[in-house]
Chains A and B, each alone.
Chain A
Amino acid sequence: QKEVEQNSGPLSVPEGAIASLNCTYSDRGSQSFFWYRQYSGKSPELIMFIYSNGDKEDGRFTAQLNKASQYVSLLIRDSQPSDSATYLCAVAPLGDSWGKFQFGAGTQVVVTP
C-alpha cells in the first residue's frame, strides 16, 4: 500500500464547475497536510495547507480533512482553464521525520472551456 494515494486522472472539469480531488494516507499519526499545484515542467507551488479536522477555505479553494478516515480533499470552485495542472497531496508525519513530506503521485486536472 502506498503511503499517500491519489487518483491519477485525468480529471476533466468544465469551466466554471467544481473540481473535487481526493487523497488518502496510511500513517494515522500524520499531522500536517498540503496541496501543491504543479504545471508541466515547473516546481510544485503551494496552494493550501490544513492541520485540523474540518474545512478550510481560501478563495476558490477548499481543503477538507478527516483524520479518522485518513482522508484529505481539495475542492476547486469556478474552475478556470488556468487551473489545468497536476495537483499533489503531501503529508507530513509526526515524530523525528517531521520534515519528510510524503507525496501522492498527483491528480491531473484538465479544465475545458
Chain B
Amino acid sequence: EAGVTQFPSHSVIEKGQTVTLRCDPISGHDNLYWYRRVMGKEIKFLLHFVKESKQDESGMPNNRFLAERTGGTYSTLKVQPAELEDSGVYFCASNKETYYEQYFGPGTRLTVT
C-alpha cells in the first residue's frame, strides 16, 4: 500500500510569489490533514478535511492560505502571496477513522526568500 505522498519535496520562492503544495493521501483515507513545522517550533495543525469538506480549519494562519480537496482525493495548499514567515516544512497526513493514528507524508520544505 502506497503511503502519503507530497509534491514538491522542496520549493524555494521569492516573497510575494505563489506556491501550491500537493498531497495524495493513502487510498481509502477520508481524513486528510495539513500541518506545518516552522524552524525550531513544534508541528502545528493547519486544517482537516473529511472527504472534500473542511472539518476544522482553525489552524490556518490567515487568508493567504487556501486549501482544497476537490473530489475528496488529493489536496492542494496554496500560499498567495508568500511571506518570509511562511517558510517551514508542510506535512500532510491521512487516516481512515477519527481518533486513530495519522500517517504522515515526507513533507514539503518551503523556503521563502
Spell out A's residues near B (CB within 8 Å): 2, 4, 31-32, 34, 36, 42-46, 49, 51, 88, 92, 96-106
Contacts and interface: CB of A to CB of B under 8 A. Distances in A.
B43 A96 contact: no
B101 A46 contact: yes
A101 B102 contact: yes
Contacts of B101: 34, 46, 49
B23 to A, nearest CB: 12
Given A43-B91, A43-B105, A46-B103, A100 B48 contact: yes
B70 interface: no
B20 interface: no
DSSP majority for the A interface?
A: loop
B44 interface: yes
A99 B94 CA distance: 10
Interface residues of B, number: 26
A99 B44 CA distance: 12
Interface of B: 4, 31, 33, 35, 41-45, 48, 55-56, 58-59, 91, 93, 98-107
B99 A32 contact: yes
B103 A99 contact: no
A4 B42 contact: yes
B85 to A, nearest CB: 18
Contacts of A88: 43
Contacts of B98: 98-99
A2 B42 CA distance: 10
Contacts of B48: 99-100
B58 to A, nearest CB: 7
Given A99-B55, A100-B48, A101-B45, A31 B99 contact: yes
A102 B45 contact: yes
A43 B104 contact: yes
